[in-house]
Amino acid sequence: MAKHILVLLFSFVGLLSTAQISTNSPYSSQGLGDTRFYGNAYLSALGGASVATFDSSQVNLFNPSSYSLTASQLPLFSLGVTHQEKRFQSGGSESSGRFSGITHMSLVVPFAKRLGIAFGLKPFSRTGYEVNDYTLVDGDSIFYDFKGEGAVQEFLLGFSGTIIDKRKHQLTVGINGKHYFGGISNVRRTFQNTNFGETGGQEERSMRASSFGFEAGLNYHWQPNTRNRFVIGGTFRPEQSLNFRQSTSRIYYTSFSNTSSYDTILAPNPADGGITLPENMDVGFSYVFTPDSLRRNSKLPMLMFTGQYTSTAWSNYIEVFEGNINDPSFVDASSIRLGLEYSPHRKSADRSAYVNFLDKFRYRVGAYQTSTQYRVNGTQLVDRGVTAGLGIPIVLNRAVSSVNFSFNYGSMGDADIQGVVQENYFGFNFGINIAPSYDRWFRKYKLD
């Protein structure tokens, strides 16, 4: 049954990813596009605090040291989708947009008690926008259209190992090898409406990625007693040069709808080059409180508080193609993320009569604030929001699968600042983690 559900969900996600644009933000026109956190439903509900957040029934691709911490000897399939609604404000005008897409697809396999391996696919950056404007010149209207689309994906091959595994202390390290692929396209048109239709020019600039990179992570668990557990986690991605191919073309046309009227000014000229991906560092903590039962037949609650700080040196981002340098003048970015999770009864497989189904749910809230890499008229744009979510465990024999939902509401930028487009947005994520049951996947047969 689990395999059939998995096939259906992967098919649905594949259709969704090809039918929708990958994001909707005018700021995705810069650099590689929108690199904001679009994590899975589990981590998004906690404000995106991911570097020190671990659960044996959940996949965490954002810290590679997590792979050996999933349920012992059980592979864990995971996938998720997101939908976001946005409203833009600038200079007294308003517009709206939306997008849907995948958050991740992954398989994590723990083995040999202390080791784990993972395969995953998730977006690294997303580009999607359409901006229209016009100006009057000698009484004639000149129109400007700007449009972009595409995404840079990352395929992950990760490995982790627990090098210290004591009763009170545990230290795990991991590494993600990444292959970046995909591409983005930016098109701008300038035209007038004449008797022949649209007359003007168009420039198209595209970039395609084909490169490798990596990041490392670790986590340390200290459990002084059965009631308290403290976790410290971190990840580090060094500055890396990624291989890209860029192509630029320009045309002039007397009628946009008639391709025979096109006059090529600059033919597509593919050029190999590189993009400097900046250094990124995450540090975080979690505190988990699991009180003992005060009396017989009482519930066992769980409370977790987690936080994270992220720093990215976006000021070092630069694009170089055949000696031509493009610097979007980004500034260094940083973020703070906080999350809280509570469960009335932490043992999902418990079938006691005094424990009902709702007691096993995981209730989550979070918040975040990010000083982004974008600066407009000397002001660095800030993205802030709140999140909430729900985790529903699904127990088949002794294996715990889960379905997760999360919701977010936030805002980036301030429309009162000249030249700033303010984004107000809300959305939801859906994710599923499937752990095969022991009986169906690990049953051994004998022939008499």
Are 163 and 151 in contact by the 8 Å Cβ rule? The answer is no
Grade residue 429 by pLDDT with cuts at 50, 70 and 90. very high
Instruction: Give CA separation, 292 vs 51, 55, 153, 229, 315, in Å.
Output: 27, 19, 44, 13, 49
| pLDDT tens-digit readout, 380-392 | 999 999 999 999 9
Are 211 and 244 in contact by the 8 Å Cβ rule? The answer is yes
368-372 average pLDDT score = 96
Grade residue 60 by pLDDT with cuts at 50, 70 and 90. very high
Look at residue 46 and tell me whether its pLDDT is greater than 90: yes
pLDDT at site 437: 61
Instruction: Please identify which residue in the block is written with the tokens 């517009």.
Output: 95
| pLDDT tens-digit readout, 192-224 | 988 778 899 999 999 999 999 999 999 999 999
* Homologous superfamily assigned to 2-441: Outer membrane protein transport protein (OMPP1/FadL/TodX) (2.40.160.60)
Tokens of 216: 């490392």
| pLDDT tens-digit readout, 135-187 | 887 778 889 999 999 999 999 999 999 999 999 999 999 999 999 999 999 99
Look at residue 98 and tell me whether its pLDDT is greater than 90: no
pLDDT at site 194: 81
pLDDT at site 8: 42
CA distance 5 to 10: 9
Q: How many CA atoms lie within 13 A of 410 on its CB side?
A: 24
pLDDT cut 70: percent of the chain above it: 92
Residues in CB range of 12: below 8 A, 6 or more apart: none
Look at residue 16 and tell me whether its pLDDT is greater than 50: no
Tokens of 166: 């004591």
Other C-beta atoms closer than 10 Å to the C-beta of 18 total: 8
More confident residue, 55 or 73: 55
Look at residue 366 and tell me whether its pLDDT is greater than 90: yes
More confident residue, 71 or 227: 227
Look at residue 284 and tell me whether its pLDDT is greater than 80: yes
Other C-beta atoms closer than 10 Å to the C-beta of 268 total: 11
pLDDT at site 341: 98
b/e 386-404 (16+ beta carbons within 10 angstroms → b): ebbbebbbbbbeebbbbeb
Instruction: Pick the closest to residue 60 from 174, 152, 180, 163 (CA basis).
Output: 174
386-410 average pLDDT score = 91
414-431 average pLDDT score = 89
* Lowest-confidence segment of 105-119, 166-180, 344-358, 421-435 by average pLDDT: 344-358
| Residues, the chain | 448
Mean pLDDT of the chain: 88
pLDDT at site 326: 87
Other C-beta atoms closer than 10 Å to the C-beta of 257 total: 9
pLDDT at site 287: 98
Are 236 and 268 in contact by the 8 Å Cβ rule? The answer is no
pTM of the predicted model as reported, rounded to 2 decimal places: 0.87
Grade residue 93 by pLDDT with cuts at 50, 70 and 90. confident
φ, ψ dihedrals at 188, nearest 5°: -130, 140
Tokens of 134: 């016009």
Look at residue 420 and tell me whether its pLDDT is greater than 90: no
pLDDT at site 92: 77
248-269 average pLDDT score = 89
By three-state DSSP, how is residue 63 classified? Answer: coil
pLDDT at site 4: 46
Residues in CB range of 112: below 8 A, 6 or more apart: none
* CB-neighbour burial class of residue 80 (10 A; exposed 0-12, middle 13-18, buried 19+): buried
